[in-house]
Structure 1
Amino acid sequence: MSCVYLYRGVRMESSREFIPDPELGLLEQVQEVLRYYNYAYRTEQSYCAWIIRFLNFYDSPQEPAQMGITEVEEYLHYLQEHENASTSTQRQALNAISFLFQRVLGIELTAIAPSRSKRHLKLPTVLTQEEVSQLLSQLRGQHLLMAQLLYGCGLGLMECIRLRVKDIVFAEGHVFVNAGKGGYDRTVPLPRLITDQLQAQVSRVIQLHKEDIVEGYGEVYLPQAVAFKYPLAAMDVNWQFLFPASKISSDPRSGKRRRHHVMESGLQKAIKTATSRTNIEKHVTCHTLRHSYATHLLEQGTHLHLLQKLLGHKDVKTTEIYTHLMKKNVHDVQSPLDTLTEEQG
């Protein structure tokens, strides 16, 4: 559906497919559009927070429809110069503000690039394989299995938390990451070492799901598009979360009583505690295991572009950062001429 808007005296067309209720407040309209397009609840919270900060930035707030590129660029400049915001943080703000203008207000903004941060590139923390072994040895049960998935599959924290039963494809030996890093689907090899543990976890989920059905529950949250196309999927065990919460809770959006996935804070605390019990003198987080996965694969000879696909990076330049973390350096590289000479000898 094409709609025409009058913006600062200029007729503009927008290809928005959904128009929020104009009777709602601005933030409520933002939420309505976000939910229509099935944005994650965390994204909704983040976007609303950035939009509030943007609108409160001006001492005499204007109507958002009277703002434009000038105000957006001024705010991004402020973030960089006065809050020392990284390029990544500026991009988060820009994504939220662009959503407000383009998806909610129907105002097209020309391309705006975040200012390049003055910060020096900070390399991520990476563990050696010996340190990974130390860390895993201090974990138990579900937290151990989750940490093994982070390191063994290169998953981000929320990618692991949001896995569903159907995402573990035992027959083909891979894990399906749905709308993971960068919003892209990808598949990664399933570590053979944890196959039995994963099968046991799936069995526990199946049993728990049966108990929930008996209690009158059993429905799980689904993306809107999936729920519309497959109305019975919410009760299908294959769509249940692989790491379900211990209790039924109310959905913050719909109010429905469901069993959601576990909170990420549990694994974060477990990793922190496990690290304190080792002699690892590094700042270790859940994401450190993903960084370590990437670096170790490069050290083992994995091609950079293949690693890009495994990690779900949109741009290979993001993946290239791990080349700076490899133990191997130019002094370890052997000339192909020397190899040729050795073979002939």
Structure 2
Amino acid sequence: MKPVSYIAQSPRLLDQLREVLRYKHYSLRTEEAYVYWVKFFVRWHGRNGQVRHPRDMGAAEVQQFLSMLATQRNVSVSTHNQALSALLFLYREVLGVQLPWLDEVQRPTRPRRIPSVLTTAEVAALFGAMTGVELLLAKLLYGTGLRLNEGLRLRVKDVDFDRRVLVVREGKGGKDRVVMLPHTLHVALTAQMAQARALWEHDRQQHQPGVEVPDALAIKYPDLGQRWGWFWLFPAPRLSIDPRSRIERRHHLYEERLQRAIKLACAAAQIHKPVSVHTLRHSFATHLLQAGTDIRTVQELLGHSDVSTTMIYTHVLKVAAGGTASPLDALASLSP
């Protein structure tokens, strides 16, 4: 029997996959990734003109596909793991196949890399080369340690100026947490909220559908997405089609907008380190530890389940501090 309480009704495999993913409340990004890998898996094995259903394939086909990704396409460990997770989900949750070989498939070990971190001077130079809402969002991510999606998905009700905190809803792992609200951003955030209010009022006058709300709240409270408190803090300037409901509504700013702005700012500021949006989060944690903040506090602010994840930033500190003298310097001091 199928191991889940939900049985997909669609006849097509990919539609069945989507239905189970949505039933289990997986994110849209995960849904798109899993559909991509399952489609790739089927097409790769059908490259000789003999398309087979995954139910008719097994351990050998999965291992061949994963081996191809590692040896021919040289995918990263994270990409390899994502492909494996997609196939495991397909067999276990969609097809209801419980075979011993599923537990024997080995995941490649992800190497622990020391993240790239900016100095405070580099952060200032980066911000100096940015403007507009991208600058405000970048400052917010650096000042709070939020992930990009956590910052983009902030709603008006999540900003508490009186307590000086932001409430992060459904962060990574579906967890909520509270982070500090930098005092220096109060004026800019108030202005941003006023711009968001103007867009919200425009949408109400045009009788546009409300913003997306989680789970079944839209059914229980039909007008919830139209309320001011649930509106995005960083709304997109234009309406777009919701990829799941196909409803035209206002989404939050797109991720690529800040990513492009940071790339251009790094070039303008002549920062030659590898810098991404996530580098702001790495810099936030490292600079807090440099200032003497307890690692457990940093763990809570970052939303890490295990302190060992946060410990990577202590290795960054060892590299950044440069407190240990090189024996070459000692030798140089003895030279006449």
- On whether the aligned pair clears a TM of 0.5, the verdict is yes
Matches within 5 A, 1:49-68: 49-59=36-46, 60-68=50-58
Cα displacement (A) at 1:258: 0.7
TM-score, length-normalised on structure 2? 0.85
Does 2:261 match 1:270?
Answer: yes
Match of 1:166 among 157, 162, 168: 157
- Matches of 1:244 and 1:283 in 2, distance apart? 28
Cα displacement (A) at 1:84: 3.3
Q: Mind listing any 5+ residue stretches in structure 1 that lack a counterpart?
A: 6-13, 333-345
- Matches of 1:65 and 1:192 in 2, distance apart? 57
Q: Which amino acid aligns with 2:56?
A: Q
Aligned length: 317
Matches within 5 A, 1:1-345: 4-5=1-2, 14=3, 16-22=4-10, 24-59=11-46, 60-69=50-59, 71-108=61-98, 110-111=102-103, 112-116=105-109, 121-326=112-317, 327-328=320-321, 331=324
- Matches of 1:287 and 1:63 in 2, distance apart? 39
Q: Which amino acid aligns with 1:180?
A: G
Helix, strand or coil at the partner of 2:237: coil
- Matches of 2:221 and 2:322 in 1, distance apart? 51
- Matches of 1:177 and 1:144 in 2, distance apart? 20
- Matches of 1:116 and 1:45 in 2, distance apart? 24
- Matches of 2:58 and 2:295 in 1, distance apart? 40
Q: Which amino acid aligns with 2:7?
A: I
Q: Tell me the alpha carbon deviations over residues 172-222 of structure 1, each in whole angstroms, 9 at most, x when there is no partner.
A: 221122222343222211111102211222222222211111111151112
- Matches of 1:229 and 1:99 in 2, distance apart? 30
Q: Tell me the alpha carbon deviations over residues 235-285 of structure 1, each in whole angstroms, 9 at most, x when there is no partner.
A: 111111111111122222222121111112111121122222213222222
Q: Mind listing any 5+ residue stretches in structure 2 that lack a counterpart?
A: 326-336
**Corresponding residue for 1:9?**
none
Counterparts in 2 of 1:186 and 1:98: CA distance versus 1, 3 Å: farther
Q: 8 Å contact 1:181–1:311 — kept in the other structure?
A: no
TM-score, length-normalised on structure 1? 0.83
Counterparts in 2 of 1:318 and 1:84: CA distance versus 1, 3 Å: farther
Structure 1 residue runs of 4 or more that deviate by more than 6 Å after TM superposition: none
Q: 8 Å contact 1:299–1:328 — kept in the other structure?
A: no
- Matches of 1:62 and 1:37 in 2, distance apart? 27
Counterparts in 2 of 1:282 and 1:235: CA distance versus 1, 3 Å: same
Cα displacement (A) at 1:73: 4.4
Identity value in percent: 43
Q: 8 Å contact 1:210–1:218 — kept in the other structure?
A: no
Cα displacement (A) at 1:70: 5.1
- Matches of 1:315 and 1:87 in 2, distance apart? 21
Counterparts in 2 of 1:316 and 1:252: CA distance versus 1, 3 Å: same
Q: Which amino acid aligns with 1:26?
A: L
Q: 8 Å contact 2:81–2:108 — kept in the other structure?
A: no
Helix, strand or coil at the partner of 1:260: strand
Q: 8 Å contact 2:91–2:98 — kept in the other structure?
A: yes
Helix, strand or coil at the partner of 1:175: strand
- Matches of 2:109 and 2:66 in 1, distance apart? 10
Cα displacement (A) at 1:37: 3.2
Cα displacement (A) at 1:71: 4.1
Cα displacement (A) at 1:34: 2.2
Q: 8 Å contact 1:126–1:291 — kept in the other structure?
A: yes
